[in-house]
Amino acid sequence: MKALRLTAWGEAPAPAEVERPVPHGAEVLVEVEAAGLCRSDLHVIDGAPGALPYRLPFTLGHEVAGRVTALGPGADGVGIGERVVVYGPWGCGSCARCAAGSDNYCDRRDTLAWHGAGLGRDGGMAEYLLVASARQLVPIADLPADQAAPLSDAGLTSYHAVAGLRHALGEGTTAVVIGVGGLGHLAVQILRATTASRVLAVDVREDALALADRSGADFGTLMRPDTARVLRARSGDVGADAVLDFVGTAQTLELAVGVLRPGGELAVVGSGGGSLTVSKPGVLPAGFRLSLPFWGTRHELAEVVALARSGALRVETERFPLSAAPEAIDRLRRGGASGRTVLVP
């Protein structure tokens, strides 16, 4: 089968021919219908040797939807032909967190050579994906594959980040989304669907602001030196109750701190490598709270799928054949992609 393999750190992944996996034990083989391309894939590709615990080579692709096509003799809980989305964070499978469906916060994370499908283990930018067990699958019924695949990371991560802030986002509050790409445009929709907050969006690209608008943002603005002031004015002059940063650079963290009201909360999702200094006294707002949400739980993935099936979530996608993955990766890298790029085998 065809697969997009990462064979050397810092080198573009190459399409290759590999053997189609055969499911053993409780394993399930999924015929891939669509796999999303995430900016995290670029962070992985660009990784310095030793920066990530993953062993090369492996197949990329951590956002996957498809159809169950073969079952190991011990597989249980899913039937051949069933359409599913794959829960991508794969932990040890046996600690308390994994048992509760929170592989994203596996207690043995630091000892594993992988973080999930396509992240140190063979992923779904391929014709088939082998999954350890049916517990990593959520049924999608008739949801189109290019809608379903991005739910498993862009949707789930955004949903989990919003869930952590929801208590602060009642009537009359303001949420700011920085970076309206694959994750950010779904975060805007999830904020609209599941909180009462006003939603303000920031990006460096006009087309991303148009996407924020289509996604239901109340206001969008370009990243400029006076953006904190503009956003504060839009929050009724008090500042934001919560900021979701899908970029995570020094510039966006500074904006986040500059726009939060006292007691405000910041969720940093983007892996942009910026840092904040904690000091008292210092520049952080009084009562400031910070979280670093990573992906989400299996239970939340089922909730995201239900939200999408209800019509409250619509992923804007750009489709490429798997054979054109190198071009799609270049386009995302250059800032030319809008919404989520989806690869179709």
Interacting residues toward ligand NAD by CB under 6 A: 38-40, 43, 153, 157, 178-184, 202-205, 208, 223, 246-249, 251-252, 269-272, 293-295, 335
CB of 182 to ligand NAD, least distance (A): 4
Burial of 206 (C-beta count, 10 Å sphere; 0-12/13-18/19+): exposed
Binding residues for Zn ion, how many (CB under 5 A)?
9
Q: Residue 106 interacts with Zn ion (CB under 5 A)?
A: yes
CB of 309 to ligand NAD, least distance (A): 22
CB of 335 to ligand NAD, least distance (A): 6
DSSP letters, 136-162, are GEEE-TT--HHHHGGGGTHHHHHHHHH
Candidate segments 19-27, 30-38, 71-79, 140-148, binder of Zn ion by CB under 5 A: 30-38
Q: Could you say which of Zn ion, ligand NAD, none residue 95 binds, taking C-beta under 5 to 8 angstroms by partner kind?
A: Zn ion
- The answer for 251, left when phi > 0, alpha when psi is -120 to 50, beta otherwise, is alpha
Q: Quick count: other Cβ atoms within 10 Å of Cβ 281?
A: 6
CA 127/CA 136 separation, integer angstroms? 18
**DSSP H or E segment with residue 7:** none
Report the residue number, 1 or 45, with the smaller CB distance to ligand NAD. Answer: 45
Q: Could you say which of Zn ion, ligand NAD, none residue 121 binds, taking C-beta under 5 to 8 angstroms by partner kind?
A: none
Q: Could you say which of Zn ion, ligand NAD, none residue 26 binds, taking C-beta under 5 to 8 angstroms by partner kind?
A: none
Q: Could you say which of Zn ion, ligand NAD, none residue 91 binds, taking C-beta under 5 to 8 angstroms by partner kind?
A: Zn ion
Give the residue among 28, 38, 53, 47 at the shortest CA–CA distance from 108: 53
Q: Could you say which of Zn ion, ligand NAD, none residue 3 binds, taking C-beta under 5 to 8 angstroms by partner kind?
A: none
Report the residue number, 38 or 151, with the smaller CB distance to ligand NAD. Answer: 38
CB of 313 to ligand NAD, least distance (A): 15
Write down the H helix ranges in the chain: 39-45, 96-99, 145-148, 154-165, 184-194, 206-214, 227-234, 250-259, 298-309, 325-333
Site for Zn ion in 138-167 (CB under 5 A): 153
Q: Could you say which of ligand NAD, Zn ion, none residue 229 binds, taking C-beta under 5 to 8 angstroms by partner kind?
A: none
DSSP letters, 14-64, are EEEE-PPP---TT-EEEEEEEEEE-HHHHHHHTPPTTTS-PPSPEE--SSE
Site for Zn ion in 35-64 (CB under 5 A): 38, 40
Q: Which residue has the tokens 């019924």?
A: 141
3-state secondary structure of 255: helix
185 to 113, 119, 231, 314: CA distances (angstroms): 31, 23, 18, 9
Report the residue number, 84 or 247, with the smaller CB distance to ligand NAD. Answer: 247
Report the residue number, 26 or 45, with the smaller CB distance to ligand NAD. Answer: 45
Entry field: residues in the chain:
345
Report the residue number, 129 or 267, with the smaller CB distance to ligand NAD. Answer: 267
Candidate segments 32-40, 197-205, 262-270, 286-294, binder of Zn ion by CB under 5 A: 32-40
Residues in touch with Zn ion (CB under 5 A) = 38, 40, 91-92, 95, 98, 106, 108, 153
